[in-house]
Amino acid sequence: MNRPPELFARESEWSDLTGFVEQSGPGTRLALVRGRRRQGKSYLLRRLAAAAGGFYYQAVEEEQSQALAGFGAALGEHLGIPGGRLAIDSWEEALAVLEDLPSTDGNAVVVIDEFPYLMNHSPELPSLLQRFIDRTRDGDGALRLILCGSALSVMAGLLEGTQALRGRASTDVVVRTFDYRTSAEFWGITNPATAFLVHSVVGGTPGYRDLLPASPPKRAGDFAKWLAAGPLSPASALFREDDYLLTEERALSDRALYHSVVAAIAGGNTSQAAVAQALGREQRSVQHPLRALEDAGFVVATDDALRSRRPIYRIADPIVRFHHVVTRRDLARFEDRRTAEAWEDAQPRFRTHVLGPHFENLAREFTFRFASSGTVGGQVASVGPAVVNDTAQRTQHEVDVVALAREQDGSSRVLAIGEAKHTTSKRTLGDVTRLEELRELIAKKQPAAAEGNLLLFSASGFESNLKTAAGKRADVELIDIERLYNGN
C-alpha cells in the first residue's frame, strides 16, 4: 500500500502496519496500536483503513447499548446496506459479522479505535476476542484486526500476565512523539533556538499544533507572545492539558497524589527518596504512584547509566512538566489573564526546571540518535544520566550524558561522558577540566572510560580559548544548539 502523501513522517509505523495488514495466510490476526493522545494515531489508522478498503470504527464514551448501535450503524454504512444500519444486540453478534466481512482486495481489515472506551462498559470484550481469534485462527477468511487506544496502562495490560489476549497479538505498534528534529520540521521552525523553546513546552506531540490559533514563533523574541496566546491562555485547549491527560487514565484515581508526585519530579526531585522527601512521606509509600505514573506514560524511569537499579525519574511529556512548573504554581494570576507579570515571575523556575532538564534530555537524544561514531567515539548502545561518587571528597557529581557501547560478552563500556547546560553564559575551559576529573573518577572502576570522549553541550556557545583548545584535541567535542539540530 502506498503511503498517503498527507501523512507527515510515521514511516516506520506505516511500514509496520501495512506489513501486518498484508500478512499472508488465513484466519484472524491481531495487532495493537497504542500511544498518548494527540500523537496522530487515529489520523494514521483512518488512512490505513482507507488504503486497505477496511472498516474503521472509533469508540466514544457512552453506554453499551449506544456503542452497539453506533457500531452497527458504522458497519452497515461500510457494507453499503440499505438504510445504513445493522441491528446488533451484543458483541458476540458484532464479531460474527466481522468474521464474514468481505474484502475487495486481499485481507479484510478492521480497526477499532479507542478500544478502552468499550472496555469501560464491556469488560468481557477481551475474552470474547480471545475466543473469536482462537476459533477463526485457521478459518477460511483472512481478517486483520487492529485495536487502538490512548490509555497506555489499559492497552499494555491487554497483553500482560493472565489477560485474555496475552499471546494473541502478532504486532504491537507504539506511536511515539516526534523527535525534536522532526518536530521542528513539522512546526515549520528553522531557527534552532526557537525550535528548542517550543519543544520544551509542547514536545513532539503533533496534535497540539492544530489546537493553537497563533502561528508558531519564527524567532525567540516571539516566544512569549506565542505562549500568551496559546498554552498560557485560559481560553486555550492546552491551558489544562496536564489535568486532562491525568484524568484520562482511570487507574490514576487519586489525582491529588499523582499531581503531587509529578510536581515533585518536575521540581527537580529525580530519585525515589527525593520524591518521598518532597511529599513528606516514607519512601515505600511513593513506590506505587511512581510505578502507576510510569505505566501510564507520565513518568520515565531511567536506570543510572553506571549503576543498575538506581532509577532516575523525569516527566515524559513536556506540556505536563511546563504546567506543573509554570502555570499551576501561579494559577490565579494566569486565570485572571495577568499573563505578562505572571510569566515574568515564572522565568527563574522556567529556566531551572524546564529549559535546563529539557536541554539535558535533548543532549542525550542527540548522542543516541544523531551523533556520529566519530563524535562519540564508537557505536552507541545506550545513553543515560549518572551519579558519580567521589569517595575522597565525600561528594557526588551528576553526569548529564553517559554513552555506552555494548561488548560481545554483554558488558558495557563507557564511550563518552558529557555535560549539558542551558545557561546565558558561554562555556569555558573550566568545564572541560571538570569533565576530565569526572572521567578520571569513572575510570577508577571502569578503566576503559579513561579513553572516552568529552562532550560539552551549550545553548549559548563557547569561549574562544575553549574552541581553540578543543580544536587541538581529538577527545573533546563542542555541541552548540545549531549542531544539536543540524549536525552530527
Using only C-alpha atoms, the chain has a radius of gyration, in whole angstroms, of 25
Per-residue CA distances from 186 to 12, 181, 206, 327, 420 (Å): 17, 9, 8, 26, 25
**DSSP-derived pairing of the beta strands 299-303 and 311-315:** antiparallel
The H-or-E segment that residue 486 falls in is: helix 481-486
pLDDT in tens, 12-27: 999 999 999 999 888 9
Q: Quickly state the pLDDT bin for 396 (edges 50, 70, 90).
A: very high
First-to-final CA distance of the chain: 33
Kindly indicate the confidence band of residue 106, based on its pLDDT and cuts at 50, 70 and 90. Answer: confident
Residue 57 CA to residue 45 CA, distance in Å, equals 10
CB under 8 Å to 285, separation ≥6 — which residues? 276
Q: Please answer whether residues 383 and 420 qualify as being in contact, where contact means their C-beta atoms are separated by less than 8 angstroms.
A: no
With a pLDDT cut of 90, the percent of the chain lying above it is 87
Tell me what pLDDT residue 251 has: 81
The answer to whether 159 touches 117, Cβ cutoff 8 Å, is: no
DSSP 450: G
Q: What is the mean pLDDT of the chain?
A: 94
Q: Which of 459, 454, 453 is closest to 480 using CA atoms?
A: 459
Confidence band of 104 (pLDDT split at 50, 70, 90): low
The string of pLDDT tens digits covering residues 60-99 is 999 999 999 999 999 999 999 887 789 999 999 999 999 8
Model confidence pTM above 0.75 = yes
**Tens digit of pLDDT for each residue in 32-56?**
999 999 999 999 999 999 999 999 9
Q: For 306, what's the count of Cα atoms within 13 Å in the CB-facing half-sphere?
A: 25
Question: If we measure between CA atoms, which residue out of 418, 401, 405 comes closest to residue 379?
Answer: 405
pLDDT of residue 102: 79
For residue 293 the three cell numbers come to 505514573
Structure-block grid coordinates of residue 369: 540518535
Rounded Cα distance between 123 and 146, Å, is 18
Q: In what order do the strands lie in the sheet with 169-174?
A: 55-58, 108-113, 142-149, 27-34, 169-174
C-alpha span between 334 and 332 (Å, rounded): 6
> Is 309 exposed, middle or buried, given 0-12, 13-18 or 19+ CB atoms closer than 10 A?
exposed
User: What grid cell was written down for 284?
Assistant: 515505600
Cβ-contact 446, 439 below 8 angstroms:
no
- pLDDT tens readout for residues 414-468: 999 999 999 999 999 999 999 999 999 999 999 999 999 999 999 999 999 999 9
User: What pLDDT score does 161 carry?
Assistant: 87
For the cut 70, the answer to whether the pLDDT of residue 234 exceeds it is: yes
Please state the rounded mean pLDDT for residues 401-419: 95
In the chain, % helix, strand, coil (3-state, to 5) comes to: 50, 20, 35
For β-strands 395-406 and 412-421, DSSP reports them as antiparallel
Grid cell 534552532 is found at 192
C-alpha to C-alpha distance for 404 and 243, rounded to whole angstroms: 37
CA angle 278, 283, 288 (to 5 degrees): 100
Chain centroid offset of residue 345 CA = 29
Q: Stretch 210-231: mean pLDDT, rounded?
A: 95
User: What is the torsional sign of CA 77, 82, 88, 92?
Assistant: negative
The DSSP bridge partners found for residue 14 are none
* In contact, 126 and 10? CB cutoff 8 Å: no
- The SS3 of residue 10 is coil
**pLDDT tens across 157-215, in order?**
999 988 999 999 999 999 999 999 999 999 999 999 999 999 999 999 999 999 998 89
Q: Which three cell numbers stand for residue 288?
A: 506505587
- Cβ(373)–Cβ(379) below 8 Å: yes
Does pLDDT of 252 surpass 80?
Answer: yes
**What was the pLDDT predicted at 105?**
66
Neighbouring C-alpha atoms within 13 Å toward the C-beta of 253: 1
